[in-house]
């Protein structure tokens, strides 16, 4: 029940329209954290902190995300052989990239090398993330043409394998880079693609108001897709 509560809170946080107020945006509940600390199956407790890593990456809060990464790391020994491990490595690397930390290049390269192997073994689970990590690696080297090519590749793979949140996140990262480089028309195209995927996934809190339709606000169409992604870690 504790893990279900964690996931329900995450879904509520993501599906609420942007600028909503109230308890959905409150800090972590201390009772939930206490329950997790006492949880017998620690790999299930790990799930909560991975949700937090993902949430903070999607919202661009690198500081909070890296704090969640440190908490997630304490559970890695309990999650050997599970997708929890690869998710920790992926979101940790992405948060370092978002935060432009001193170790970002090393963290992203190390993660990308692991995904080199994993993506060959199971493309559906790992190839979209592998391409996104490769894009971030090129971006950190300031090889912008390669970065944009890899962002597009990552988004296409994510759509192929039904990873709407990865597709949306990828396009958002590409949009941010395009805006920084003054490529505004291209940036708006990436931003629109990101908004479309987040809306399909049901994550309206990540969709700028100018991209939200009344129909999407009244009835997010893909909340089941979000639940599937969170449950399967695909």
Q: Are 190 and 178 in contact (CB under 8 A)?
A: yes
Return the residue matching tokens 């992405």: 94
Distance from C-alpha of 136 to C-alpha of 129, rounded to nearest angstrom: 11
The helix (H) or strand (E) run that includes residue 230 is: helix 223-232
What three-state secondary structure class fits 81? coil
Distance from C-alpha of 75 to C-alpha of 178, rounded to nearest angstrom: 37
Closest CA to 113 of 94, 98, 133, 96: 133
Q: How many CA atoms lie within 13 A of 1 on its CB side?
A: 2
Per-residue confidence (pLDDT) for residue 33, from 0 to 100 = 56
Is pTM beyond 0.85 here? no
Per-residue confidence (pLDDT) for residue 84, from 0 to 100 = 86
Tokens of 95: 């948060």
Confidence of residue 216 (pLDDT cuts 50, 70, 90): very low
Per-residue confidence (pLDDT) for residue 226, from 0 to 100 = 56
DSSP 112: H
Q: Are 50 and 88 in contact (CB under 8 A)?
A: yes
Task: Name the domain count of the chain.
Answer: 1
The CATH number covering residue 146 comes to 1.25.40
Q: Which residue blocks in 16-122 are alpha helix, DSSP H?
A: 30-37, 42-59, 62-73, 83-99, 104-121
Q: What is the mean pLDDT of the chain?
A: 83
> To 5 degrees, how large is the angle CA 83–CA 63–CA 3?
40
Per-residue confidence (pLDDT) for residue 220, from 0 to 100 = 45
Per-residue confidence (pLDDT) for residue 22, from 0 to 100 = 40
Please give the distance of CA 189 from its chain centroid, rounded to a whole number. Answer: 20
Q: Which residue blocks in 184-222 are alpha helix, DSSP H?
A: 184-201, 214-218
Q: Of the ranges 13-17, 83-87, 149-153, which one carries the lowest mean pLDDT score?
A: 13-17
Please give the distance of CA 185 from its chain centroid, rounded to a whole number. Answer: 25
Query: For residue range 83-116, what is the model confidence (pLDDT) as tens digits?
Result: 889 999 999 999 999 999 999 999 999 999 999 9
Range of the domain at 150: 2-232
Distance from C-alpha of 130 to C-alpha of 142, rounded to nearest angstrom: 18
Query: For residue range 42-88, what is the model confidence (pLDDT) as tens digits?
Result: 556 788 889 999 999 999 999 999 999 999 988 888 767 778 899 99
Return the residue matching tokens 């308890």: 23
Query: For residue range 152-179, what is the model confidence (pLDDT) as tens digits?
Result: 999 999 999 999 999 999 999 999 999 9
């Amino acid at each position: 029940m504790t893990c279900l509560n964690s996931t329900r809170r995450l879904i509520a946080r993501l599906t609420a329209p942007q600028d909503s107020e109230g308890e959905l945006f409150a800090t972590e509940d201390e009772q939930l954290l206490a329950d997790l600390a006492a949880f017998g199956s620690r790999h299930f407790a790990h799930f909560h902190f991975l949700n937090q890593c993902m949430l903070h990456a999607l919202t661009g809060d690198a500081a909070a995300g890296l704090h969640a990464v440190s908490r997630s790391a304490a559970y890695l020994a309990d999650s050997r052989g599970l997708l929890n491990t690869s998710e920790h490595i992926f979101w940790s690397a992405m948060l370092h990239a978002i935060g432009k930390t001193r170790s970002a290049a090393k963290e992203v390269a190390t993660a990308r090398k692991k995904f080199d192997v994993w993506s060959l073994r199971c493309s559906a689970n790992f190839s979209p993330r592998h391409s996104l990590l490769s894009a971030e690696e090129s971006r950190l080297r300031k090889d912008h043409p390669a970065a944009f090519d890899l962002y597009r590749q990552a988004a296409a793979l994510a759509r192929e394998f039904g990873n709407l949140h990865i597709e949306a996140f990828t396009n958002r990262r590409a949009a941010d880079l395009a805006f920084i480089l003054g490529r505004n028309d291209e940036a708006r195209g990436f931003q629109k693609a990101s908004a479309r995927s987040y809306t399909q996934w049901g994550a309206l809190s990540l969709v700028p108001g100018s991209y939200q339709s009344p129909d999407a606000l009244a009835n997010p169409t893909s909340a089941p897709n979000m639940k599937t992604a969170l449950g399967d870690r695909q």
